[in-house]
Structure 1
């Protein structure tokens, strides 16, 4: 994760977890980290990756699939709030149960709330692989890895990167890719992506080894700009807009969004 040591749930017992109600997980956050492990037939666990910092109880780790190439694909959401345009400003309740910027997203350390235009936290974690001033996080991404080691699979577009997470990522700019499928007879990866206020998406990665696909969240939702984040004039989004339509991949299919989640 960008901020260094990954937060863990239940480190010193459930009573020490910073998630009391009130204010509740959607108000102040409920800090956890995802883990991808191999479990042996005897039940022994071998962690491969510990990442996916998540502050709110949605948009967590997603789905797993083996590809026809033998690689393991894993998807995950942005770990951000579903209730507001989350760029790393933390809580709206005034509570300090969870520290500001708990994932340590740039440009400020844990304990310092982020602000536009430089903020790279919240949903902007989905664009983290576009920045090179800090280690890449895996929120809002699709990774392609060696299932035995957790390292980037051979042939990944960024396999030569010295950043192990950047080497793993084959797609990003995702909000909540909670379902995934491999189209039989092809290398295509299809992702069911939960939208926010406008559209739901079906996204397609045509060839995971041909290049890193950016689906644009949170700067884009569906075929157009996401108004809540566009209005904040965030540097990560403004630079993506300036790069033109070819800098991100539009959804394969969309439909009107259901209630926010």
Structure 2
């Protein structure tokens, strides 16, 4: 059981306050904002095998595009950019993509895709300097340039495939409706394509098995008929390629190219937008085209306008998500996931938007997803924020020195704190341990007669009913078959109690609750749990008197001998005006109503 009670801030630690929801897969997800204040972040990636850092692309600040490093071990954004360069400031242009060479650890090469100040797409290779956090800005070598007729639909994504070749997604050149029919033109036209080149020797060479080598068509082309593949990715386990292609005015789509593809696919644009005819003039038959595995319509409420592609989850932290492809919507700020069925369709389409409401800020204008070296996923938005998609975890006390906040364990430990767990409550910056009997599984075992309790610093029990909080537990094993008489007295706090036969697993499990005394039928050898707390958060000490009487006990039988007689009247009068075993209606006080009930039950029970 746990209570969120953050009272202080420790540098480098993220305080979780969002209330996540359970996913259909059973795991509860949330998102944590890890950095803010960036200039139009458009991509998150990591170097192969580097589990300590992620690299964040800032599209542009003025006419400068930058690559920033976020240190995952300290939760800090490094102040000095990894690389800065001059870029175009027009429309969708700027610094758009980055890919590390598969052998980056040994050769230090990485590649970027940007539009220069003339508006031309440039794919260039750089090398890291002797400082692993600073690139050698003088090491640039141009790999490929493509003239852009317009400042939109410039693509931007680059990625190394499982085959070691560099894949480059190019848009159709912009404007609207592909006026030059560039996406369908495979001769002397690299726009509207997926390119595949070998960059182990520069400027580049053509893989021998590219589909148009030796036949009509540009050798660099791997696939075509693409409008604007702003973000595509490879499933790191299977090698399948997921292409999120931004639509014209009606439909957004996701195409999947299986890992065993030999290339040459025509994904349909401008002949088709998604599954729907757009401009089929001069187009080949639809049987020659590959249609999306998923599409959704633009417009609606919330308004949808542009897909942002993501990744197939292959991290180890959330096994339920294995194989789920995440993607989002730029205008509506929605996030979904699905699983490709291996053919022309999908399964398990889930809207994750509410579930991924972040602990701070808001996910708006989703520009990209990202993946770190461990397969964890990230979301970035043009508002300057980056969020980590995580499995939610119970929060507990996290201490650094004498300072205490309530955090999930992973956040605490990643930030250098000591996690003391959800049995410790942070109060006034100091960690106080909860009572040993703070939950049902650790209930104090008591016998017949009077026992004491203390609920100070107790936390709320999860999965139990009766609206009781700050509670502690007592366990009593019935010494007879008959009736239990239970009386609870609290000192200087408004105690509320409940009685259970065994630890509860959800609402409706209590035998009775809300009283200060109980008459409960019992079976010898059965464990009965008494939960004592309050409804208003107050805590304190008190006593519980528990006794077992063979046979039936009725209201007013104060001594439990099975007969209501003068001895019981005398005992009730001795308790009159206060709490006691003769409280027949459970209101916490012995009064006239209890005396009348006793007289009404006069004689043998």
Equivalent residue, structure 2, for 1:77: 171
Question: Of 250, 254, 263, which aligns to 1:211?
Answer: 263
Task: Check 1:68–1:248 CA distance in 2 against 1; reply closer, same or farther (3 A cut).
Answer: same
Deviation of the 1:188 alpha carbon:
1.6
Conserved in 1, the CA contact under 8 Å of 2:233 and 2:242? yes
Question: Of 238, 241, 246, which aligns to 2:287?
Answer: 246
Q: How does 1:76-225 map to 2 (within 5 A)?
A: 76-82=170-176, 85-87=177-179, 121=180, 124-129=181-186, 135-148=187-200, 149=202, 150-161=204-215, 166-207=218-259, 210-225=262-277
TM-score by length of 2: 0.28
Deviation of the 1:79 alpha carbon:
1.0
Q: Which has the higher strand share?
A: 2
CA distance in 2, matches of 1:69, 1:172: 19
CA distance in 2, matches of 1:86, 1:175: 8
Task: Check 1:158–1:219 CA distance in 2 against 1; reply closer, same or farther (3 A cut).
Answer: same
Conserved in 2, the CA contact under 8 Å of 1:31 and 1:54? no
Q: Does 1:59 align with 2:153?
A: yes
Deviation of the 1:77 alpha carbon:
0.5
Task: Check 1:79–1:253 CA distance in 2 against 1; reply closer, same or farther (3 A cut).
Answer: same
Alignment partner of 1:77: what SS? coil
Deviations 1:137-191 (A, max 9, x none): 211111111123322224222233586xx11111111111000110122232111
TM-score by length of 1: 0.61
Deviations 1:2-42 (A, max 9, x none): xxxxxxxxxxxxxxx9x9xxxxxxxxxx9832121111232
Equivalent residue, structure 2, for 1:68: 162
CA distance in 2, matches of 1:223, 1:81: 22
CA distance in 2, matches of 1:220, 1:171: 15
Task: Check 1:208–1:59 CA distance in 2 against 1; reply closer, same or farther (3 A cut).
Answer: farther
Q: Does 1:36 align with 2:115?
A: no
Alignment partner of 2:144: what SS? strand
Q: Which has the higher helix share?
A: 1
Structure with the greater alpha carbon radius of gyration: 2
CA distance in 1, matches of 2:260, 2:193: 12
Alignment size in residue pairs:
178
CA distance in 2, matches of 1:188, 1:154: 20
Greater relative contact order structure (CA < 8 Å, 6+ sep) = 1
Deviation of the 1:208 alpha carbon:
6.9
**Where does the alignment leave 5 or more consecutive residues of structure 2 unmatched?**
1-87, 91-116, 129-135, 299-303, 307-330, 332-605
Conserved in 2, the CA contact under 8 Å of 1:141 and 1:172? yes
Moved beyond 4 Å, runs of 4+:
none
CA distance in 2, matches of 1:80, 1:208: 31
CA distance in 1, matches of 2:118, 2:190: 16
Deviations 1:18-71 (A, max 9, x none): x9xxxxxxxxxx9832121111232221111112x3222210032011111111
Please report the RMSD computed on the Cα atoms of aligned residues, expressed in angstroms. Answer: 2.6
Alignment partner of 1:246: what SS? helix
Equivalent residue, structure 2, for 1:6: none
Alignment partner of 2:120: what SS? strand
Equivalent residue, structure 2, for 1:49: 144
Conserved in 1, the CA contact under 8 Å of 2:172 and 2:178? no
Task: Check 1:214–1:56 CA distance in 2 against 1; reply closer, same or farther (3 A cut).
Answer: same
CA distance in 2, matches of 1:208, 1:168: 19
Conserved in 2, the CA contact under 8 Å of 1:215 and 1:248? yes
Conserved in 2, the CA contact under 8 Å of 1:157 and 1:209? no
CA distance in 1, matches of 2:261, 2:255: 16
